[in-house]
Homo-oligomer: A and B are copies of this chain.
Amino acid sequence: MVESAQPSTFAWERLHEFATRVFIHDGLPDDEASQAADVLIASDLRGIDSHGVARLGLYHEMLAIGRFNPRPRITITRESPATATIDGDNGMGLVVGPRANEIAMDKAQAVGAGWVAVRNSNHFGIAGYYPLQALKRDLIGWAMTNSSKLIAPVWSSERMLGTNPIAIAFPAKDEPPIVIDMATSAVAYGKIEIALRKEGAIPEGWALDAQGADTTDPASVAAGGSLQPLGGDRDRGGHKGYCLASMVDILCGVLPGAGWGPFAPSFAVKQEISSRKVGLGIGHFLGALRIDGFIDPLEFKSQIDDWVRVFRAAQPTPGTDGPLVPGDPERAAYAIRSQSGIPLVAAVVRDLREVSRKTGVPLD
């Protein structure tokens, strides 16, 4: 069979329905299956292909082998008016994360700020999904998560931290919102995989080989190497990226009692067995702030409009159209994909057809 190298395009609604029905097949309650699909499809719509339906096959397999609890009893284990810790009961992060985020937002609306640390969860999709929900309530939203080890600290050759993203969003009035969603590694692991497939080199400053030397060979990264933290080596500020990844790890891992550092559980079916278990699952840290606890919200949003316009007007470097505002690339993808559909590469389509075959849920 010859497969087209051209991506196939699917309407987001169809992919949403497919994912929902797969999750229902895998034992999730209807509303939680739909919630999980929301988070996945939000990623595809925003152009972050690595975190969307490309992962559905893996999620399905994790549910099928009992690695995730399809019907978690999510509980608050401790709380104060502005804070809480949630135990996700080994549920999918795509279900536990949104629930915890609701609690953070409710607390913010009640007392001005809400912070929820989550343990015993699993990968929760794109971090940016959560602050986008906060925008709907006119809140500033924050989200972080830890994840399985990929980054080596500066002066170490050992994978010790995940790519631990930080996301935050600010609403504007007439301009689009400012949406930040960034890993604290120099680069996403997906870019190493792309270079591997193309048999190309990667730039210096992205990764180390197993001995801890800066490498441009993606194969040596896969063979026991590691990603560098944001900034790269010590001279270029890599210690700051290491600090940020550590901050995320402590807030998401240590604070709620989840796994942390090299002991955060792996997101894979053939899981590398961790040498130690220091907590439950992986962890998230979700926050919300009520704008009117600081300033008149309309004044804030007008100033954000002004900020966006001032930054867009900054002097471009030669050969560029000038600076972007955080969230622009994802918004551009959304504008196209919400209308024209989501392009999926052949390998992902194949994977979804396999899920369809196994579950009996039709893809087309």
**Known A187-B237, A315-B158; contact A246-B111, beta-carbon cutoff 8 A:** no
Asked whether A307 is an interface residue with its Cβ less than 8 Å from the other chain, the reply is yes
Q: How far is the CA of A243 from the CA of B317 in the complex (A)?
A: 18
Interface string of A216-248 (1 = CB under 8 A from B): 000000000000001110011101111110110
Residues of B within 8 A of A180 (CB): 243-244, 246-247
Residues of B within 8 A of A111 (CB): 80-82, 111
Stretch at the interface among A8-16, A94-102, A253-261, A349-357: A253-261
Contacts A80-B111, A117-B295, A170-B254 supplied; 15 other A-B pairs, CB < 8 Å: A80-B112, A81-B112, A113-B114, A113-B115, A115-B289, A153-B314, A153-B324, A155-B316, A156-B322, A157-B316, A158-B314, A182-B243, A184-B240, A231-B237, A256-B295
Asked whether A42 is an interface residue with its Cβ less than 8 Å from the other chain, the reply is no
Q: In the complex, how many residues of chain A place their beta carbon closer than 8 angstroms to a beta carbon of chain B?
A: 93
Interface centre among A186, A237, A310 (most CB of B within 10 A): A237
Q: How many copies of this protein are present in the complex?
A: 2
Stretch at the interface among A30-38, A59-67, A192-200, A296-304: A296-304
Asked whether A176 is an interface residue with its Cβ less than 8 Å from the other chain, the reply is no
Asked whether A326 is an interface residue with its Cβ less than 8 Å from the other chain, the reply is yes
Residues of B within 8 A of A295 (CB): 78, 85, 117, 255-257
Interface string of A145-177 (1 = CB under 8 A from B): 000000011111110100000101010000000
Shortest CB-to-CB span from A138 to chain B, Å, is 14
Stretch at the interface among A17-25, A204-212, A330-338, A339-347: A204-212
- A112 and B82: CB pair below 8 A? yes
Asked whether A272 is an interface residue with its Cβ less than 8 Å from the other chain, the reply is no
